[in-house]
Amino acid sequence: MIANEIKPNDVLLMDGELYRITSVTHIKPGKGGAFVKGKKKNLKTGAVTDYSFRSAEKVEKPFLEKKGMEFSYREGDFLYFMDTETYEQTPITKESLGDMALFLVEGVEVNALYHGTEIITIDLPETVVLEIKETEPGFKGDTAQGGNKPITFETGLTSNGPMFLNIGDKVKIDTRTGEYLERA
């Protein structure tokens, strides 16, 4: 594929390593050719670095097999996923998933991306339902337009949400931004 087609969350092979693209900016300067730059995350080490390509430059997209899996449970530094076809449990380290682990609750279905026989990362659904574990209490008269307050969810994710939300409420969260969308 050419660099101009790079999108966030694409997995690319660069210098023999697999990287997930975390941000992309297309730049067309007044003088010279257009180029693409942004940030990439090494899927083995977790290191985030900058990248830059000329728009027409070719980049290598590795062959990745997608397999439907369901998140089962957490144990220590591992997250366990169940293959929805064979019911086999597969552990993945929290560290390898980074912030994506904050959106995982029991029963969430994801696509695991395999490179060879190893799971390198997962694709989260666009939204997940999380339960509020900690927030300031809402008061009578609080409305959706009344501002925001900090919220901590069952997974440890922190975000902001409307004043009317209370502990125990289940809400829908956008996994791309971590923002509150609506009550579930």
Give the whole-angstrom CA distance, residue 17 versus residue 3.
17
Is the pTM higher than 0.75? no
Tell me what pLDDT residue 140 has.
Answer: 55
Sign (positive or negative) of CA dihedral 138, 143, 146, 147: positive
Tell me what pLDDT residue 146 has.
Answer: 62
Sign (positive or negative) of CA dihedral 146, 152, 153, 157: positive
Phi-psi region of 137 (alpha: psi -120 to 50; beta: other; left: phi over 0): beta
pLDDT exceeds 60 at position 143: no
Residue 178 pairs with which residues in a beta bridge? none
Higher pLDDT, 143 or 111: 111
pLDDT band at 128 (very low <50, low <70, confident <90, very high): very high
Least confident of 3-17, 56-70, 129-143: 129-143
- The percentage of the chain sitting over the pLDDT mark of 90, rounded to a whole number, equals 26
Contacts 24+ apart (CB under 8 A), 80-83: 81/110, 81/112, 81/119, 81/122
**Sheet containing strand 109-115, strands side by side:** 89-93, 78-83, 65-75, 109-115, 118-123
Give the whole-angstrom CA distance, residue 96 versus residue 7.
21
SS3 of 45, please? coil
Domains (range + CATH), the chain? 3-54 (2.30.30.30), 66-123 (2.40.50.140), 127-183 (2.40.50.140)
pLDDT tens digit sequence for 156-168: 999 988 888 888 9
Element spanning 14, H or E: strand 11-14
